[in-house]
Amino acid sequence: MKIMRPMGAVGIVASAALALAACGSDPASNTGTSTSGAASAATGTANVQCGGKSPLSGEGSTAQKTAMDIFAQQYAKACAGQVVNYNATGSGAGVKQFNAKQVDFGGSDSPISGADADAAKARCAGSPAWNLPMVVGPVAIAYKLDGVTNLTLTGELAAKIFNGQIKTWNDPALVAANPGVNLPAKPIQVFSRSDESGTTDNFQHYLAAAGKGAWTQGTGKAFKGGVGNGASGSNGVASGIRGADGAIGYVESSYVKDGLTAAKLNSGSGGVELTPQNVAKALDAAAFKTPGTNDLAMDLDKIYASNTPGAYPLLLATYEIVCSKGYDADTAKAVKAFLTTAATTAQQPIADKGFVPLPQSLQDKVLTAVNAIS
Q: Where are the alpha helices (DSSP H) in the chain?
A: 65-78, 91-99, 114-123, 155-162, 172-177, 198-210, 233-242, 276-283, 300-304, 329-343, 347-351, 360-372
Amino acid at residue number 58: G
Query: Is 232 flagged in the annotation as binding?
Result: no
Query: Is 185 flagged in the annotation as binding?
Result: no
How far is the C-alpha of 174 from the C-alpha of 184, rounded, in Å?
Answer: 11
Beta bridge partners of 252: 139
Query: Is 34 flagged in the annotation as binding?
Result: no
- Three-state DSSP class for residue 272: strand
- Three-state DSSP class for residue 135: strand
Structural contact between residues 285 and 308, judged by C-beta atoms closer than 8 angstroms = yes
Nearest Cα residue to 195 out of 220, 164, 217, 218: 220
Amino acid at residue number 24: G
Query: Is 63 flagged in the annotation as binding?
Result: yes
How far is the C-alpha of 314 from the C-alpha of 67, rounded, in Å?
Answer: 19
Query: Is 267 flagged in the annotation as binding?
Result: no
Distances (CA, A) of 326 to 104, 322, 359: 11, 10, 29
How far is the C-alpha of 312 from the C-alpha of 271, rounded, in Å?
Answer: 9
- Sign of the Cα torsion 297, 275, 185, 156 reads positive
How far is the C-alpha of 170 from the C-alpha of 272, rounded, in Å?
Answer: 21
How far is the C-alpha of 251 from the C-alpha of 76, rounded, in Å?
Answer: 30
Query: Is 198 flagged in the annotation as binding?
Result: yes
| Main-chain phi, psi angles of 232, to 5 degrees | -85, 125
Query: Is 15 flagged in the annotation as binding?
Result: no
How far is the C-alpha of 87 from the C-alpha of 70, rounded, in Å?
Answer: 14
Nearest Cα residue to 161 out of 215, 236, 220, 202: 215
- Three-state DSSP class for residue 211: coil
| Count of CA atoms in the C-beta half-sphere (13 A) of 189 | 18
Query: Is 91 flagged in the annotation as binding?
Result: yes
Specify binding-site residues for phosphate.
61-63, 91, 109, 197-199
Q: Which residues are annotated as a binding site?
A: 61-63, 91, 109, 197-199
